[in-house]
Amino acid sequence: MIGLIYLPCVGRLYSAVSGQGAWCNGVPIRASGIGDLAEATVLVGLSRRTSPDLSVGMIETALGGGSALRCLGTCVVGLAMVAEGTADAYYEAHVQAWDCLAGLLIVREAGGRTNDVLAPVMLVQGGPLLAAAPGLFDRLAAVAARRLDLGGRAPPQDARRPSIV
């Protein structure tokens, strides 16, 4: 398997080959070794497709732990940043599989951790996404799991919001 992300505005090509590593413009990259929220930069993606309540716990945890918090407009950039270690975690309550699969491989090959998005429900309907430095993943996954199933099974009906589009 291979994964590619190209960010033309910054001239960066992120790539990974399953079992062989991850690179940015041909240079090997690694996820950060941060394990303390007080030293972390946490990225959160927000969408009109889901209730903001699904992200509040993650935002409170990041800010309460002393993290720098950033909101981006795309999971692709967030995943690239986690893979190269310029961010320590990325969370979004709902993404489509086709938007994140390449980035997930890149994060994993760079030594980061992600939730399982290859489950059938995630592939068909989309679902939550968490990618993080290994030292932060379990703590942040526990926060996300209070409201969402990170294992790729269907979320409870009250967790979904009808699409506005």
CATH of the domain at 154: 3.40.190.80
pLDDT in tens, 79-132: 999 999 999 999 999 999 899 999 999 999 999 999 988 777 778 888 899 999
Reported as a single tens digit per residue, the pLDDT across 102-117 is 999 999 999 999 998 8
Residue 155 falls inside a structural domain: yes
pLDDT of 155 > 90? The answer is no
Count of domains forming the chain: 1
Say if 119 falls within a structural domain. yes
Percent of the chain with pLDDT over 70: 91
To the nearest whole number, what is the mean pLDDT of the chain?
A: 89
Report residue 97 as tokens.
Answer: 């599989």
Distance spanning both ends of the chain, measured CA to CA: 33
User: Stretch 29-52: mean pLDDT, rounded?
Assistant: 93
Question: Quick check: 163 pLDDT over 70?
Answer: no
Query: Whole-model pTM?
Result: 0.88
* Per-residue model confidence (pLDDT) at position 152: 53
Is residue 21 situated within a structural domain? no
pLDDT score for 12: 98
In a domain, 11, yes or no: no
* Per-residue pLDDT at 13: 99
Q: If you compute the radius of gyration of the chain from its CA atoms, what whole number of angstroms results?
A: 15
130 located within any domain: yes
Cβ–Cβ under 8 Å, residues 85 and 30: yes
Question: Which residues form the domain of 120?
Answer: 30-159
Tell me whether residue 15 is in a domain: no
